[in-house]
Structure 1
C-alpha cells in the first residue's frame, strides 16, 4: 500500500475501491475500535492494515487463503479480523442510511423522482435480493431458497440518486417472498400509516387525491402505497405506458444493487461465511456504498457506471451491467402470482396511468417504448 500510495494513486483507488482520503476518514472513525494491543510475544497488526485487508476482501471476495499471500497474514488470523472490522464500519457509517422521518423529507425524495425520472409522488424504489452463501453447516433447509441455493435476503428502499434509505438484512432465504417484506419495519410502517408520509394530493392537472407510493416489481403485492406493473396480459395503452414509466423509476433500485455488487465483488460469489458473519459483510458494503455516494465520486462511480438516457428515452446501459448477473449470486425475489388487492389500490394505479397520458404528465418518447 505504501508503494501504491507513492507510485500509483489510481491503482490504490482500485485496490481499496475508494480514494485514500475516504480510506483515512473511515480509519479515523473506527481506529480505536479495531486497534489491538501489542503483547510481549508479538506486535499487533496495525488498524490501517486491518481496514485495508477487510476492504480488499469486500472489493474482491477473494478467499482468506488468497489474502494471506497478499498481506502476509495467516488465514486464521484474517478470519477473526474481517467480521470485527465489518461490524465497526457499519456502526460508524450506518447513520448515512437516512430514512426520512417527516413529510418534508419524504417530499424531497419525491421531488427528485419527479425531476429525474418523471414519476410524481414516488418515495422510493423497493426490491430484494437473495445474497448467496456456501451451505451453512448443520442448517438443513433453513437458508435454502427457490433457486436451489442457500441465502440471506437484502431488502432495500432506494432514493432517486442511487442511495439506500432503508435496508433489512439477514432474513433466511427459505422464507416466502411475501413473508420477507411483511416481516420488515417498512411494511409495518406503511400498513399502520406510521411513516409520516405527506397527505394524499392530486397529481398535476388532476382532481383525484392519490397517496405517495413506493414503486416495485411483481415480487410485491399491489397496495395503496405500493405500485407494481400491470400483468403482461394487459394490453391497453394506459397500462403499457404506466408499466414503462414505473420501470424507469424502479430501475433505480436495480442499478443501485448492480453498482453495489460490481464495486464490492464479494456479493458476486457465494459468501463462504456463516450467516451471522455474512450479514455483517452485507451491512458493511451497504454502509460503505452510501458513504461513497454522498458526493460525486469518480473513484467509486466513474461517469459511465450508471445508466443514461438519450433525448428519445433510449437507455444507454451503465458499465455495471457488463459484470452484474442477477441470476448468479444476487438472486431476485420470486415474482408473486395472483394476489388479492383492494379496489382502491387498482384505482390509484389507474389514476397514475391516466395522468401519464395527459399533456402535463406525458413524456414525448413514452409511446415508442410502451
Structure 2
C-alpha cells in the first residue's frame, strides 16, 4: 500500500515538474518584433526631427536628452551572447516614458515590446544611475556662504522676503500598501504613502530632499530626524552671518520658511496660528505665504511633468524611494536646461499636504518671527499691495 502511494506521489511530482519546464516560446513572438515594431524603433527617430513633439514626449529638449544619455551610456551598457541587448538610449527612453506617463510595466511591455519584468529592472537601474551621477551636481544644499546668499537674494527679489535661504515642505506620495506593513504607511487621509520632504530655492529647484518616511509619521518628527535638521543644529551647513533687513540696523539670522506643519525655531519660520490674528500677524502670514508658494510650485511643476505621481506607485519600497529621488534630480536637471511651462505651476496634482502639528514653539523663534512681522508693517518693509491682499 505504501509503495503504491509513494509511486503516485513521485509520478505527480515529475508530471508537475515537466509541465513547469514546458515552455511554448523561448521568447514570445511579440517581443521578438521589438526591433521592428517597438515604439522606440518606430517613433524615436521621427521625434528627433521635431523639437516640440520630442519635448512633449520626454518632457525635455533633444539637447538635454542627448547630454543625459551620453553621461549614462557607459553605466547602462550590457553584453549578451545569445540575443541583441537593449541599448542604453532605449533604456533611458523607457524609463523617461514611465516617469512622464505614469503607465504600468504591463502597458510599457506592449508598447516597447519588452518583457514587463525586464522593464522593471531597466527602470530601477536607470533611476539608480541618474541619482548617483547627478545628485551632487543638480541637487545639493549650498556648501558656501556665497551659495546661501545667492538664494537669499533670489527670495528678496522675487518674493520680497529677505534673509530666506529656502522654503521647506513635505508631501505624501501615494503607494500600494506594502506587505506586512499594517497601518505603518496609512496616513491621516486614509491612503498609503511615503513622505517626500523637500526644500527649494526661488528658481523652483530642489536644494534638499528626504524620501521614504512612513505616511503615518508626523511631519515634525520627519523633519527632526532628517539630515537637514542635524546639519543645521551641528553647524555643518555654513549659513551667512546675521544681516540687518533692508533699511534697518539690527542684524537678523537667515531663516528657512515652512508652513504650519513645522514647529517654529531659530532656524525655521512658520505662520502665526489662524485665530484672532492682528493686522501685523495677517501681514506676516501673507508675506510668508508669498515666499512659501515657491515650494508648492516646485512640487506642482514636477508632478505635472512626471505623471507617475498621479497614481499610487506599485513598486517595492526601496524601488519607490529610488524612483522619487531620480524624479527630483531630473526635475532640477531639466529646470536648469529647459526652464518650465507656466501652466505647470498653477496646480499641484498627485501630492497631499502633511498634517498640521503645532506642538513645538521655541521662544527664540517667536522673537525672530515678531521682528520680521514688525518689519513687514513698517514703512521700510511694507509693499504697496499687502493690505489689499489680507482683506
With over 3 angstroms needed to count, the CA separation of the structure-2 counterparts of 1:194 and 1:260, relative to structure 1, is same
Distance in 1, matches of 2:207 and 2:362, equals 27
Within a 5 Å distance, the mapping from 1:225-304 to structure 2 comes to 225-295=267-337, 297=338, 301-302=340-341
Q: Does the alignment pair 1:333 with 2:354?
A: yes
Distance in 2, matches of 1:7 and 1:70, equals 21
Encode CA deviations 1:87-142: one digit per residue, 9 max, x unaligned.
11111211211311122221111111101110000000000111110111222223
What residue is the counterpart of 1:191 in the other structure?
Answer: 233
Q: Which moved more, 1:135-144 or 1:1-10?
A: 1-10
Encode CA deviations 1:28-66: one digit per residue, 9 max, x unaligned.
111111111122x21111111110000000001101111
TM-score normalised per structure 1: 0.90
SS at match of 1:153: strand
Q: Which moved more, 1:16-25 or 1:2-11?
A: 2-11
What residue is the counterpart of 1:51 in the other structure?
Answer: 92
| Structure 2, gaps ≥5 residues long | 1-42
| Structure 1, gaps ≥5 residues long | 306-317
TM-score normalised per structure 2: 0.85
Within a 5 Å distance, the mapping from 1:290-329 to structure 2 comes to 290-295=332-337, 297=338, 301-302=340-341, 305=342, 318-322=343-347, 324-325=348-349, 329=350
SS at match of 1:272: coil
SS at match of 2:170: strand
| Off by >6 Å, runs of 4+ in structure 1 | none
Count of residue pairs brought into register by the alignment = 347
Q: Does the alignment pair 1:132 with 2:153?
A: no
- The structural deviation recorded for 1:6 is 5.0
Q: Which moved more, 1:253-262 or 1:84-93?
A: 84-93
Q: Which of 1 and 2 has greater Rg?
A: 2
Q: Does the alignment pair 1:357 with 2:377?
A: yes
SS at match of 1:145: coil
SS at match of 1:131: strand
- The structural deviation recorded for 1:176 is 1.9
What residue is the counterpart of 1:35 in the other structure?
Answer: 77
1:4–1:11: 8 Å Cα contact kept in structure 2? no
Q: What is the alpha-carbon root mean square deviation over aligned residues? A: 1.5
Distance in 1, matches of 2:328 and 2:155, equals 21
Distance in 1, matches of 2:44 and 2:123, equals 21
What residue is the counterpart of 2:185 in the other structure?
Answer: 143
Encode CA deviations 1:174-224: one digit per residue, 9 max, x unaligned.
222211101111111222333211122321233333211001101100111
Distance in 2, matches of 1:78 and 1:363, equals 53
SS at match of 2:60: coil
- The structural deviation recorded for 1:7 is 4.9
